[in-house]
Chain A
């Protein structure tokens, strides 16, 4: 078994596309935060991206098959860290999501758990050899994702918990889920909805209702939704010509550099600009899927498709929120939104994808 890997097989096209998206993100963060108390965030974002690129290269050298072999330990560690957060975490804005690290840093485990879940799900389905999924396997796969998800929900962090679901769905779909099983889950989920709504925290419920009718409370929680829609809509085809008098720059759009970065971008660059970004994301996703097809083994495909699932879900929910199709859930737009955890996760995930690709001719 040869251990030959080469940067000839590093996916430079994917890398450049990703950097392009990151660059647009940095530009928009700079523009949106100018003259606000967040000014300078784009510099910090550049540091995160640099760190992320470094992590990606390191990760691309780590054999993903070795990672998969030890994934059960990582899984146990992630469950432990999530429980640590619930017990010892820093309370911020009513939720415990962070562990204070020595040296003043903050660590948000739920973000890394996502990565481990991708690996764990990939390992689980790669080890299943039958083409069709049995009910016990189905439930076991659900449990792998379900347990950490419940722990994150308990923080409470609905947004991040939701991002675990596509990992499970992608695994099940590629792992050969049957139509009957899928329908059963959908019907069950539908029946659970009213109960779930009841369990939601008041602020979460408010966000959902304000999504349904934002005008009902245009100065309260509906404010973000309305201001985001106004920002995007006023951008028009070619972008806001008002320049410094835009929604974003006059601070009507609150905290535009994180979850609403796409709204700020869409306002400034219009439909054409927004569509260009969407196209870039689409090419990235297609490229990733292509890499999954050429993966050296079943596990590699699952790993890459897990990343595809998370990325697609983030884009769907975030852009969906910005255009008013989805409620405000606090899910950032990967590669563009400001934030260290999100950037590092994406580059680590890309590192694993690179690793899978670089090993496509191995074996």
Chain B
């Protein structure tokens, strides 16, 4: 037992005690530093850790028609997601989840694996906009699948089948590219904003302000309790000038045909209906548009995303003759012009045909009125030659052709109104007088949009009142909304009343057996207008490819008004490949008929009024020989309306 009794050095034992003391002092210092010195910093870090700002999405404003009827609404949409809160093996549940949500089980597993390395508090999004039965599946499996949950978002509910799609537009997540533009600089990634149409134009009004909820979450992202919340400010509703009844009539009138319809009140520029075909279903974009679907829409040669009412630039064809007639009469040339139409005429060494030769006829002696309702090309070739391109361009430009109308819709195009200066500026070439002849019948370089045409002819029929078209009433918009354009709302272009009568009377003969659109006649309605058939390719090319492909068929145009002077409505119809203007006229007639019938059905103006009420009337005058005249007359009368009709019993004397 030697050595065992020898004690260990007490100095070294004491040294150990001091070393332990030193260690404890260091650790205590560490605690002091964290818990006392830097406590505030860590407390705020802990706060950030557990308090999450959850946005409360503001619903977008509803879009209503002029009478307050709902066009675009929102609906609550549910997104299914996985919370990784429980210690469950998510992959094991993937089969059941996939079945319930109609997903591919492999896809679900891949998603879970993809998110495996992400922080636990980030939920795994499985499916947007789940159907009611999928939602029912989630609700009924709360116990079996505690990790499966849903969140609510408000999504846009647009009319079905692309009804009014171009005018309304659609919404989508704000893109990186947009955020770089000054208009969108105060928006955040992930914001849902308007991408086209009214949704884009009035995004500022429609889009609300998101609120937020501060909630305490655990490390897996599940809410434990709520701290406070700021309510979302819902977007304001937007009332359009569109009349839903008329829009329905216009949509039905155009049917599946390619083209566009614009119906406008030429007294104030309110757009009553706007249709473009082919259309698209904006509901497809309300959730998420697949790359395939998108590229199909963009690359479709019929351009379904294009709002042809404001974005199609096409030759106006014979509808342009109304501008020509106005120019000719105002310049004092057309009044006394008599032209003999033999089915064509030669100008500057080239023979120009009149459309009538196709029917193996000729117009014979033509003056301005007949030239309009019979749409005689030879008369307008001659008039164009006399006016010259610059005078034609002056009038066309005055009535808004070749320039934006200033409608409150995005991406309107200008069209083209050629002139000598235009040719030099764009082609560095001199204008050839021969080119003027084609322009005289709305061919050649002239290209217009349906809205321009509606506005111009509506203005002429209104005696020169050119209005700026708009889809919302500017007076009803909030003050902070910047107007879409600084274009004046109305311009009065002087037209001699005599000329006005000649043109409008001639227009009223168009949808009669005398005119080019006899089949579009409306009994008992003062319907006037002008047809047009515009070549899309040259006659030579058309001859070569005469296999009946719609692509090379003439576009049919019609611009109609009712009543013929100071009209309440102007309707421009573009029927692509419609061959003849009267087919477009029939479409326009349907819209006009729907309008008139609605006006007649609603005696509201009379019933409500306590002032004089203006009513329109149409009548046939008797000829000097006593037989009924073919010509219809239209006019307006001011009628007194009694405040309130007294009951008979009170009026009768002697009865108390």
Contacts and interface: CB of A to CB of B under 8 A. Distances in A.
A320 B30 contact: yes
Contact of B4 (A126, A227, A244): A126
Contact of A233 (B23, B39, B220): B39
Contacts of A234: 39, 42-43, 45-46
A131 B12 CA distance: 12
A173 interface: yes
B219 A274 contact: no
B218 A251 contact: yes
Interface stretch (A45-53, A181-189, A301-309): A301-309
A341 interface: no
Contacts of B220: 251
B602 interface: no
A247 B218 CA distance: 8
Contact of A231 (B27, B36, B38, B46): B46
A237 B39 contact: yes
Interface in A117-155: 126-129, 131
B4 A299 contact: yes
A235 B15 CA distance: 34
A204 interface: no
A261 to B, nearest CB: 15
A305 B41 CA distance: 40
Nearest to A233: B42
A80 to B, nearest CB: 28
A257 to B, nearest CB: 15
Contact of B36 (A236, A298, A301, A325): A236
B28, B32, B119: residue with the most chain A Cβ atoms closer than 10 Å:
B28
Contacts, number: 155
Given A233-B42, A270-B35, A289 B7 contact: no
A62 interface: no
A3 interface: no
Nearest to A292: B13
B13 A232 contact: no
Interface in A32-66: 37
A316 B46 contact: no
A233 B24 contact: no
The prevalent SS among residues of B at the interface is helix
A246 B216 CA distance: 10
A285 B7 CA distance: 20
B227 to A, nearest CB: 10
Given A233-B35, A278-B27, A170 B7 contact: no
Contacts of A271: 31-32, 35-36
A113 to B, nearest CB: 23
Q: Give the contact-size bracket for chain B.
A: 35 or more
A128, A233, A281: residue with the most chain B Cβ atoms closer than 10 Å:
A233
B38 to A, nearest CB: 6
A17 interface: no
B427 interface: no
Interface residues of A, number: 58
Contacts of A316: 23, 27
Contacts of B32: 271
Nearest to A311: B20
B621 to A, nearest CB: 89
Interface string A227-258: 10111111111000010111100111010000
Contacts of B70: none
A126 B6 CA distance: 9
Contact of A219 (B38, B46, B119): B119
B93 to A, nearest CB: 17
B224 A250 contact: yes
A174 B8 CA distance: 7
B3, B4, B31, B38: residue with the most chain A Cβ atoms closer than 10 Å:
B31
A29 interface: no
B613 interface: no
B12 A174 contact: yes
Contact of A312 (B8, B23, B30): B23
Given A236-B36, A250-B219, A292-B13, A298 B27 contact: no
B31 A302 contact: no
A58 to B, nearest CB: 25
Given A129-B2, A325-B30, A173 B24 contact: no
A230 B46 CA distance: 6
B46 A274 contact: no
A129 B16 contact: no
A237 B35 contact: yes
A316 B21 CA distance: 11
A190 interface: no
A176 interface: yes
A233 B43 contact: yes
A127 B5 CA distance: 10
Given A250-B224, A298-B4, 19 more contacts: A219-B118, A227-B49, A232-B34, A232-B42, A233-B34, A234-B46, A236-B43, A245-B224, A247-B50, A251-B219, A271-B35, A282-B20, A289-B16, A293-B13, A297-B5, A298-B5, A308-B16, A325-B26, A325-B30
Closest 4 CB pairs of A and B: A233-B42, A323-B30, A129-B3, A234-B46
18 contacts: A37-B87, A126-B4, A129-B3, A232-B42, A233-B34, A233-B39, A233-B41, A234-B39, A250-B217, A252-B46, A266-B35, A271-B31, A286-B17, A301-B8, A301-B13, A305-B16, A308-B20, A316-B23
